[in-house]
Structure 1
């Protein structure tokens, strides 16, 4: 991640109005840009001109800066509208640097309590206003209790789930080729014309993505406890879709579709409409990579996440008749996904993020169905991957070492 950009100087104490509801004309004379993330902002909240998202974020985290998740990038994350949800530690640090103060949260709460008390004692108060305040208070209590339950759950089951999360992320990153792709992209200007044609090879890039996801799925004990025929069936059902969804993360992280040479190379195989649509989809993907990695393992153990029937005898295979074999894995990973969302983003934002992910996923599988049906080159690539995967599974049939996954979790229950 790039180094943190130079931050503007925070307001002086004379400029700060301690009331969060500052007159709009005063704030607009300063700016209409959030000092934390750059989004549209109209008023000063808790000591700094900020948008509603950053106001809510600071209210949720301002009292407990020591309890937020640590930064994984040496506290040098750039905070903007696209990345503000990625690193809690750097975003909170920037809030404080821009002049936000947790003391002003207490002052606002005190004012609200006094205002509520006054409304209750005033018999002429508009009843609808009182109801709004009551509903708002109840929602705050529910949100607070949900957060407290998650953070106070210190059971071994809860701990093992976060161990499982760490294992998923580590396994993905171990087999991912995105870091190597970034190195290649950065060295591109220094390469000769002949080397360009070797490096900019879309078929090889797709093959590497396929190998990455095949290895990622195979490393789970949930996969290894299946029989050879069940493993083969699972890959035939889901590997194509997992690769397609992974490609959105791959293209966003590496940025290669913003490089004309790479984009044109992929267009020669898939056409401009598909590639421009995929580039747009990858840019709309949730900025939290951990979230995408959990989704990938959920898709891997789906009953069937490809809407095209690639195997005419699939309806007669044993895994389809006994999909209960997958239910344990599905339950564990879906529960992990939701707990991760709730603990990091709260209920409301989690619901919105999950909804957007579903929309993107549906868009991806729709495009995948079109490509697989109409593009012979793509079909040949993935059919070749499936054939090689079957051979690898057959060669490793006796290898049943558990690495991580549901089987790993059961040790702690």
Structure 2
């Protein structure tokens, strides 16, 4: 997969590396068509004659072919200028087939790093925190993105790190995986003790409640405002979080779990949910940012569950929510741009919105027609109010926009 494309006998031998510094006069005897998509191409990039778009695409995805969204059409998509943004898997496969090599990306990074190091030695300014902006972003628990020295950008990356860290701290997905892995060792009669859809939903709610409550934007609200926000948005947050939860744990692929949820929600809803999970963006960080955005929505359920909500003071002063929404939405977009570039970011963001609207539409139907579901969430709402009242005087910020965990 990573081998270089062989040149024809009529082409003079030359070094081909990631810098793409191939003399155009030497290249003039070749076609000026990108071997991947057919767009205009002038130089060899990472081992294959390619356009700027395909060069950028391969640089972004060449190191992680297993992490791209799988093809939905049996890996036989035609890649051209019009369809190159449609299927990431087939486009990347064609890049490799045409001779692009991820080793040449590393070679280019090494050269740039050496040039940067020499500049650092002659500079009196401390550049110890500088990173190559073209280096692939690496996500870790409390150091999500490395790179920009601007204090404004640095505070945003700290905020992103805190969101991811807080989500993972309160998540129960790891415990769920342990339970799933232990299932084969259990006797069938013991299944009911671990395959309990209501308890799984309760655990997801507790996880999201703790995640949202750790936000300083939530802590500065009054008790009535906090309660109102949960009443309006916890349903939608849980519904969207369930897509990440079920994908990560894989429990809907286990017949015992899938059938247990069918007893509550019916086969149509569960099959639809499973299809939605398959379409979900593979980047979990995007989902975690979306969750905190939804938490500060005016109402992401689209069903009025509380008739007194219309007289809610928090809705009258919507600007208080807009401040939080703007911060998190801006963070989401900058994360997308820095990791995927503009074109792919727009596509990913559009798909996320489509999936969320689909989830919310199904949730509204379930909430309206499923009495068992309403009972589950009414109980959760009552417990949430009690928890908020108990913790009303707790103003300890677990993370903040300008602080590190």
Which residue number in structure 2 is paired with residue 101 of structure 1?
104
* Per-residue Cα deviation, 1:249-279 (whole angstroms, up to 9, x for no partner): 1111111111111111111110000000001
CA distance 1:386–1:54, change in 2 (3 Å): farther
Which residue number in structure 2 is paired with residue 280 of structure 1?
275
Match of 1:377 among 363, 372, 386: 372
Match of 2:340 among 345, 355, 360: 345
CA distance 1:45–1:321, change in 2 (3 Å): same
Asked if residue 264 in structure 1 is aligned to residue 267 in structure 2, the reply is no
* Alignment TM-score, normalising by the size of structure 2: 0.71
Shift of 1:154: 2.4
Distance 1:51 1:104 in 2: 20
Shift of 1:192: 1.1
Contact 1:82/1:287 (8 A) holds in 2: no
Which residue number in structure 2 is paired with residue 328 of structure 1?
323
Distance 1:159 1:347 in 2: 21
Contact 2:68/2:282 (8 A) holds in 1: no
* Per-residue Cα deviation, 1:141-160 (whole angstroms, up to 9, x for no partner): xxx9xxxxx99852211111
Contact 1:48/1:99 (8 A) holds in 2: no
Contact 2:237/2:291 (8 A) holds in 1: yes
Shift of 1:96: 10
Contact 1:21/1:45 (8 A) holds in 2: no
Shift of 1:58: 3.0
Which residue number in structure 1 is paired with residue 246 of structure 2?
251
Which residue number in structure 1 is paired with residue 117 of structure 2?
none
Which residue number in structure 1 is paired with residue 236 of structure 2?
241
Distance 1:23 1:274 in 2: 47
* Per-residue Cα deviation, 1:43-82 (whole angstroms, up to 9, x for no partner): x9733699998643235699xxxxxxxxxxxx99844544
Asked if residue 294 in structure 1 is aligned to residue 306 in structure 2, the reply is no
Matches within 5 A, 1:84-95: none
CA distance 1:13–1:295, change in 2 (3 Å): same
Distance 1:80 1:307 in 2: 33
CA distance 1:152–1:250, change in 2 (3 Å): closer
Distance 1:152 1:100 in 2: 22
Which residue number in structure 1 is paired with residue 393 of structure 2?
398
CA distance 1:260–1:45, change in 2 (3 Å): farther
Shift of 1:13: 5.2
Contact 2:2/2:99 (8 A) holds in 1: no
Match of 1:209 among 204, 209, 212: 204
Contact 1:48/1:100 (8 A) holds in 2: no
May I ask how many residue pairs the two structures share in their alignment? 325
Contact 2:2/2:102 (8 A) holds in 1: no
Contact 2:33/2:50 (8 A) holds in 1: no
Matches within 5 A, 1:1-400: 10=3, 46-47=46-47, 55-59=55-59, 78-82=66-70, 98=101, 101=104, 154-400=149-395
Paired residue secondary structure (1:313): helix
Contact 2:233/2:296 (8 A) holds in 1: yes
Paired residue secondary structure (1:302): coil
Paired residue secondary structure (2:206): helix
Shift of 1:23: 9.5
Contact 1:46/1:104 (8 A) holds in 2: no
CA distance 1:102–1:390, change in 2 (3 Å): closer
* Per-residue Cα deviation, 1:337-358 (whole angstroms, up to 9, x for no partner): 1110111111111111111111
Paired residue secondary structure (1:101): helix
Contact 2:337/2:345 (8 A) holds in 1: yes
CA distance 1:357–1:219, change in 2 (3 Å): same
Contact 2:280/2:352 (8 A) holds in 1: yes
Distance 1:103 1:301 in 2: 41
Bigger helix fraction: 1
